[in-house]
Amino acid sequence: MSKRHDAIFDDVLKDLSVPESPDRGGARFLKRQNALSESGEREEKVLRWVDPDSCVMWARHNRAYELLTEENCRDLIDSLKAQGQQEFPAVVRKLPPGQGAEYEVICGARRHFAVSWLRANNYPQFRYLIEIRDLTDEEAFRLADIENRDRADLSDYERARDYLQALELYYGGKQKAMAARLEVSEAWLSRYLYLARLPRVVVDAWPQITDLKELHARSLRPLLQDAEDKVLAEAAAIGAEQAAARAGQGAFLAVPQVLARLKAAALGPKPQAEGEVIGTGGPKGGLTITRRGRKIRLEFRQDIGREELQAAFQEFLQRQFGG
């Protein structure tokens, strides 16, 4: 995490009280000391080892938990096995009684999945390390955003969708206020909000939502402005092919191909370069000359006669070099 993000992270957590545990006898605790101020005062924060089944994801968690798999969490699973335990705590909030689970996870979905996977696959000794915090929903949103903003394994589309929901829930639809709280530029935030607002039919044209990037949305923006109907129609056709691939019928259409087809739908096929024709006096059409940059392409029919071709070449050489 960058120093700038550390500062924002600290701002989110400042002045938050740490609740006392109601059950000190039945749980294992760790203590972490944090320096607070120039006066040298210290506060002890309590960490707790729990069964991951006692935790659920916060409803507004910015990661799609259902997309987590053994494959995309393999690096973390292997790291936990090598270390023998989870090193960095997840941030959670305590749920009211009667909710089924005891805690909701604000930050730490991948850690939750990895520990759960290990416990289900012959490593029952692993426990989930949590830190309980008293956070408002807006504070929880900012905290989760700071932790995940630089992570490559959280997709642009997941992040963008989270921003769009937060815009209305916490900032009254005021983009400027939201950008200020997140300490990002309005232009940066605007690009992600546009990504989140892409029509669903366009999103479904991508192999997976994790493949959809903010840069792709920028490429699509002028296409949708100039030829929305054509782009949406082609996106629907591509989406049907991707759905078939998800059902095991054929291969996924790769992202570059998706973009190429959407662009072609909006702009139409590339016009063929018109060539200059010389030596047209013969029955076979002479020689066609196409100039592209510093290159010249010469074309003639396969059945052209020797004399006709020779005359066309002679005319070309005279035009090209004179004499």
pLDDT at 322: 74
How far is Cα 256 from Cα 68, in angstroms, rounded to an integer?
Answer: 25
Domain spanning 3-135 has what CATH number?
3.90.1530.10
pLDDT at 18: 41
The model's pLDDT over 236-287, given as tens digits with 9 standing for 90+, comes to 999 999 999 999 998 999 999 999 999 999 988 665 556 677 765 555 567 8
Per residue of the chain (323 residues), give pLDDT as tens: 555 555 555 555 554 444 444 344 333 334 333 433 344 445 457 799 999 999 999 988 877 788 899 998 999 999 999 999 999 999 999 999 888 899 999 999 999 999 999 999 999 999 999 999 999 999 999 998 888 777 766 789 989 999 999 999 999 999 999 999 999 999 999 999 999 999 999 999 999 988 999 999 999 999 999 999 999 999 999 999 999 999 999 899 999 999 999 999 998 866 555 667 776 555 556 788 887 767 888 888 888 888 888 888 888 888 877 76
pLDDT at 303: 83
Q: Roughly how many angstroms between the first and final C-alpha of the chain, as a whole number?
A: 71
Give start-end residues of each CATH 3.90.1530.10 domain in the chain. 3-135
pLDDT at 117: 97
pLDDT at 7: 54
pLDDT at 26: 35
pLDDT at 247: 92
Take residue 231 and report the two structure tokens written for it: 């782009």
pLDDT at 274: 60
**Could you tell me which residues come within 8 angstroms of residue 266 by beta carbon, excluding any fewer than 6 positions away?**
223, 226, 227, 230, 231
pLDDT at 282: 56
* CA-to-CA dists, residue 80 to 31, 84, 114, 116, 223, angstroms: 20, 6, 8, 12, 46
How far is Cα 197 from Cα 201, in angstroms, rounded to an integer?
Answer: 11
**For residue 48, what are the β-bridge partners?**
29, 130
Number of separate helices (H) and strands (E) present in the chain:
11, 9
pLDDT at 87: 92
